[in-house]
Structures are given as C-alpha cells and as structure tokens.
Structure 1
Amino acid sequence: MWNVSELVGRVRQAVENGVGSAWVRGEVRNLRIPSSGHAYFTLGDGAAQIRAVCFRSTLRLQSVALADGMEVLAWGRVGVYEPRGDLQLVVDLLEPLTGQGALLREFEARKRRLAAEGWFSADRKRPIPSLPRAVGVVTSPTGAALRDVVQVLGRRAPGIRVVVSPASVQGDGAARELREALEAAAALPGVDVVLLVRGGGSLEDLWPFNDEDLVRAVARSPVPVITGVGHETDVTLVDFAADLRAPTPSAAAELAAGEWSRWVETLRRHEARLNQAVAARLRELRARLGAADPTRRPPRFLVDRLRLRVDGLADRAGAAVDRRVGEARQGLSGLELRLRAGDPRARLGRWRERVSQLSMRLHRGMAEGVDRRRRTVTALANRAEALGPYRVLARGYALVRDEAGRVVRDAGGCRLGQPLAVTLARGGLDVEVTGVTGPADDGARLSLGQGRGPDSGRARSRA
C-alpha cells in the first residue's frame, strides 16, 4: 500500500528518469508574472496542456517577450510538482515560432470575414468635419487616453465641446460596453465626430476592439469615427472600419480638431498684432502727453472727478434700489396678510366648526323629538288600552254576537232560539235566546235560559 506522497514521488522519479528534458511546442496561455519575477503559464495545443514555469534568472536571458496567445518552442525539464501532483515543465529556453499564435490567427480570420462583408470598403469612408461643434469620446473615464484627448483638444481647439461616453476598454463585456457607448455618443445632438480611443497594451488587452459587432457598429455609425487605439504599432479591426485611423489617442484628438487649430493660430496672431498696435498707440499717447503744456491739469484729475461722480450715482442707485425693495416688501406683506385671511384652510376650519355645531344641535333635536313622540305614543297606548273592550269586559260586561258575527246591541232584533256567541273577559259562551224582555225606555233585554226543543236551555261554554 502506498500513501499519496510516496505515489507522487514515484511518479516524479519515473517522469524525470523516463522523459528528462525535452522540446515542447505550444501556445502560451494564462500567463502570470507576479512580483517575484517568475513566469507561470500553460502550454497547450488544443488537445492537451501542461503547466510551465520560467524562473526570473532564466526569463531575463530570453529574447522573447512572453504574451498570451504566443506560440513558442520551449526547452525544459519535465517533472511533477509534488504539492499539487501536477505535471510541470521547468523552462530553460524559449524561442518564438513562425506565426502569431491562436489570437493572431483568429484576428486574421475575422479580418478576412469582415472584409468580405464589405465593412472595410473605402467607399464607406466619410470625410471628417473641418470645424466640429462637439466631439464624442468613447473610452474609459479613468484612463490616460481621456486625459490626453482633453489636453490636446483644449490646446488645439479650446472652443470645441467634449462629450465623454464612458465604457470599459478591456476584459469581459468591454466590447458590448464600447458598442453601446459608441451608439450613445453618435446619437447625442451636436456631436459631429466620435473618437474611439484607449492606451497601449497587449494583444489580449486590445482584443475587445477586434469584436465583430463593434466593427460593424463603427462602420454603421451615423457620424464619422476616428480610432486611436494603442501605440503606433498596434492595429485593431476597428481601425479598418473607422473613417480615419490615428496612431495614438493624442493624434486622434489632433485630427478631430480639424481647422480649429488653424483658426486658433490665426486668432492668436491677430491677438499679438493687436497687442502690439495697442502698446504702440499707448507709447505715442504718453509721448504726446509728455510734450503737452505742463500747466494743464493732468488727466488723473478728470478721472478722479468722474470716479467721484460715479460713486455718487452708485450711492443714489443703491438707495433707490433699497427703497423700491422696501416698498415691494411692504406690498408683499399686505398681500401675504390678505392671502392668509382668504386661506381656504381657515375657511374650511370655520365651516367644519359650524357643521359640528349644527350636527350636535340636529342630534339633540332629534333625540328630544323622539322622546316627545315616545311619551305621546305611550300615553295614547294607555288610553287605548283603558278604552278597549277588554277593560270593559273585565268589569263584568259581555260582548254578544249573532251567528253572522255582528254585535247585538238591541234585544228586539233577536228571535227565540237564535244561537248567540257571548265573549267574556276570560273565555266565551255559545247560547240560545230563550226570551226577549225589557222596558220600552231601556229597550228589549235578552233572556238566556232553557228554551223549547230537545236542546233548549243548554248553554255550551267555549271557555
């Protein structure tokens, strides 16, 4: 059984003894040179890759400047870096190979493709305005390229307006930001030309400027575009699509200034001539003044008198302004008082108070009216109850109805044997008429008792 360190150590010995030193051809990728000065990178060929290191003492002796995408031939010792168990090449010699590496091959492929589409055609190029009103600058807001452009335009064309459309100029997403910033700058009113600039860098740093969509956006821009990307030897695909290419950002700014610089120089020459003419005229006037009559009062007395007059007029003007301001303030105070008196909020508060009082009076009146009507209804109910027939029946009277339900008020209207219904205070009776009696003044009275027939004299109670 092996532990990890023993196994990795045995593999390292096998690799070192079996391979030793070798020439390795590959593309430099993921190059990193920290403060120690050692170069750490990966050599790859599309099918495989191996980690590599070139120590500082060796790197200083190489004639090639390492960069990502470069294809090189490396001589070194093949081994295993035991702490990570990685296969590693310790490089002793580096030689560049014929060709520009994967990035340059991609650059050439894109260039051929875009040229075939017609984006680099000279017929698409537009002239640069000779006196632009405003210049749009698409670059990083914190880069040195922007400072160079602003400095050159300030010196060569001080009257021109500079509009910055910020964007990242390297890294992931930079191409999209540059395209959006270019479109935004070209759409601004008054912008007659756009500068697409950044400082120098490696091929990888400048790679966003080789983006195909950005190249098409430069060619389709509604205003002319001047590119100034990198140093004089740096070339990107946007340079071929631009209306004019400058070797540096500063040179791009000088080209954008156009005829402004010539007019500025002309104005400066006229300014110098004017200053010379004024100085000569002043010398002439001083000479004439020196040759004048010494008894005449010098001009400074006239100047002093005019200065005093100006001071007096200024004091009067100040007093008049203060007076008018005071009057205006008084008028404003009166208007403010009137405005406060007619403030809808104050009137609204008074109306709310009035409504509250009326509401309280209304509720109080309604309550009193309800109480009065309740007492009246109670009194009427008591009277109705006192006058009701049941109160009379409770005193011993009875209510008599015939078979049709009519109240019998006159005994003379009844016949013998007629069935009647008698209602008492509690319950009722079904009876028959057995006799009709009574004096003439009181009317006939019924006698209820035994009558003729088999059922005469029976009283059927309904209680």
Structure 2
Amino acid sequence: MCSKSSGRSSRRIPACGRCTLSSWVPDEVWTVSDLVGRVREAVEAGVGTAWVRGEVRNLRIPSSGHAYFTLGDEAAQIRAVCFRSTLRLQAVDLADGIEVLAWGRVSVYEPRGDLQFIAEILEPLTGEGALLREFEARKRRLAAEGWFAADRKRPVPSLPRAVGVVTSLTGAALRDVLQVLGRRAPGLRVVVAPSSVQGESAAGELREALGLVTTDPEVDVVLLVRGGGSLEDLWPFNDEDLVRAVARCPVPVITGVGHETDVTLVDLAADVRAPTPSAAAELAAGEWARWVEALRAMETRLHRAVRARLGDLRARLAAADPRRRAPRSLVARRRIEVDALADRAAAALDRRVAEARRSLAGFEVRLRGLDPRVRLAAWRERQAHLEARLHRAVREAVARRRARLQALSDRAEALGPRRVLGRGYAVVRTPEGRVVREAGTCSPGQPLEVTLARGGLGVEVTRVSVPAEEDKRWT
C-alpha cells in the first residue's frame, strides 16, 4: 500500500501507479505556459545581457527581414535572432561560417519553449569583414593626414644609378624582379634589403629595410614588392607607420604588392603603383632598356659589316691569280689586312660604345641639373650667403653707430660744466637761480648759492670789488 502526501506536501509524486488523481489531488498545478514563463523569467533574471562569441550557422533571413541563426562553438550551440530594425544598423555582413562577437539578452521563446539569444550588437571577429572595416578606417585617417595627396607623388628617374628592392629573399617576387631587371637593364646595380613580408613582425622589418636601403647614395628608386595572397597575408602593407615611412622616403617608391586586384595602403602612398612585382621592375628599368637595345643593335650592325667585309676579301682572294695566291707573303699580307680590319672594327665598336656611354652620362648630368632638389639646394645656399652678408652689414653699421655715439658722448662730457667745475671753478647763483657773472650785480649782505664740483655752499656777500676799466676790456 503506498502512502499519500498530506498537508502542504502535495507536490510529491505518488509512489505507485495505483494512486490516481481521484485519490490524490495536488494543491497547485501549473500550466505549460506558466512553467515556460517561469523559466523565461528565471533565465532573463539570472543571465540578463551578455557578450557571446561564436560561429554563425544555419543563417536564414526570411521576407520579414529578421535574421535567424545559430551561434555555436565546438561544444554547444544556441538559437539566436537579430531583428530587422537592429540588423540594418550592424556593420557586419552575416554569413554562415563567420565568427562574431554578439551582445544581447538570453530569453525563452515561449511558443516553442526554445532557449534563444536576442542579439543587439554584432561585431565580426575573424574573416575579411573586420579587416576591411579596419582598412577603410586607416585609409580615411591617413588620407586626412595628407599622405595620399597627388602633389606628393614624384616622378621615377629614367636612368637610375641603382635600384633598391625591399622584399623577402625566399619569395618569388625577388626572382621576378631580378629576372626582369637582368633582361631589361643588364648592368644596372641592384641593392636588396631583405625583410619578411607576412606576419606580425613584417611591418616593422619592412620599415627598417626601407630605411636601410636608402642609406646607399646611389639608390635612386626603391621597389617595395611581394607576391599575391589573402587580405590577412597582405595586412603588413596596411600598417600606418609603414605608409608614413613610404611617403617620407627620400627617393621615389614603386610598389608591386600582390596581384592587380590587390590594393594596399602603401600602394596609395607610393609614388607609383605597379600591378605586380614584374611590372614594378619594368617601371624601374626606365630608359635603360632603350639604351641597351640601341647598343645591341649597333653591335649587330658592326658584326654584320665586319662579316660582309671579310666575305668580300675572301671572294677577292679566291678570284685572284693562283700564282699570286700561292706565295706565303700574299697570305701573310691578307692575314695582316684581316687583323687590321678586325682591330678597326673593334676600335670602331669601342668608340661607338664610348660615345653612347658619354651620351648616357651627359643625359644623366642634365637630368641631375634639372632635379628640383639640386636647384632648391642652390637657392638655399644663395639665401644663406645673402643672409650672412646682411647680418655682417647690420653688425658693422651698429658698430659704427656705437662708435660715433661714444665719441659724441665723450665730447659732450668734455665740454660739460662738471669738467670745468672739476678744475676748481664754481657757479654762483642768486636765490632766484640767476647766474652771477659780474660782481657789480651784487650788493653786500646779499645771500648767494655757490655750486662746486662736489656739493654746494650758501654764502653772503661781505664785500664787492668792481674791476678797473683796463680789466673790463678783458672780461
């Protein structure tokens, strides 16, 4: 016989199946709606809002515009929803397989009893979505600083003395650049500054390599190149400090990063952007290729002329009288003529090559003379010279004025009354301040003031002596 619960213990389940509701009635019975509602309240109160990291799966956006999907990881998953009014404000493009960081609240969808996450904020964690947003933000920031301005771009020298290359030693980009330069500009000096082009340390190494290669005074242009890759692979070339270093580089920079469709921030800051590393090398070769082709054409023409001349001499020798061909002296003479022609041809070739080199050097000198940096340096030197002359003239004028002022001061002091008083003279004045020049203007008992070189006296006239007529003539 089973026992029934009594009193407030009515929620206990009967111990056996023989007890029925007719014999045991609980005090409180919940409906399914009540139960699910209580669960929803407990979940919302206990968890509330939270940041959740997970992968988007089973994405579905019906005509209502709401996004229904599953957030999951390796061990668990939860249904999620982002309503249309919230979804259109997000910067992320939802797609299956991307990882997002979501902020929202946990609740229970009562009609189905499903635990669900209601997303209010969605941020991409991986994939190109987050990188593209960061790319655009950096692009706007650097453009506002003026690093992409067209007036900062410099022309690439047509005849560089040396070309600097900043790239990886093990990448295909370096092989492509060296192959193109070797074909288009044989003899052109190439200075390679090795650097990693991928990974966290790549941006710093690229900046150091760029600064190192420009220390060579003959490097007139720098190639910053690497092969193709994903946005993550090319991300070091979007480093803001590297962009500023490229813009501040003392010589023009040609970038050839990735493929033609790949655009990085250093491409926007560089003086010239090439679609590939090989195209960057073609641009760096400049006029070298044209001069090399011209020299090769001259060499071909000279060889052709020499061969034609030798063939003509051989034909003449063959048509000559056998008796004249037989003596060894004739053969030796012809050999000497052939050697002389060969020497003349070689000398002519050397002269043409030397003339071409002199022309090339003349063009280089003219190009350097037209370099704005050279003119600016000359103007600065003239300005410094004029400033020095102006400063020297001002100092000399000030010195002359000071000397004249000192002479006038000394003269005024020499003629001043204090010098006269210092020799024992005195100035006598009446109490009203009138200077006494003749004794006859005073009377006995009259007070007077006497000014000496140092100090003064108050006196009273006791006697008046008037000079004789003879003395008056000399007063």
TM (normalized to structure 1)?
Answer: 0.47
Q: TM-score, normalised by structure 2?
A: 0.46
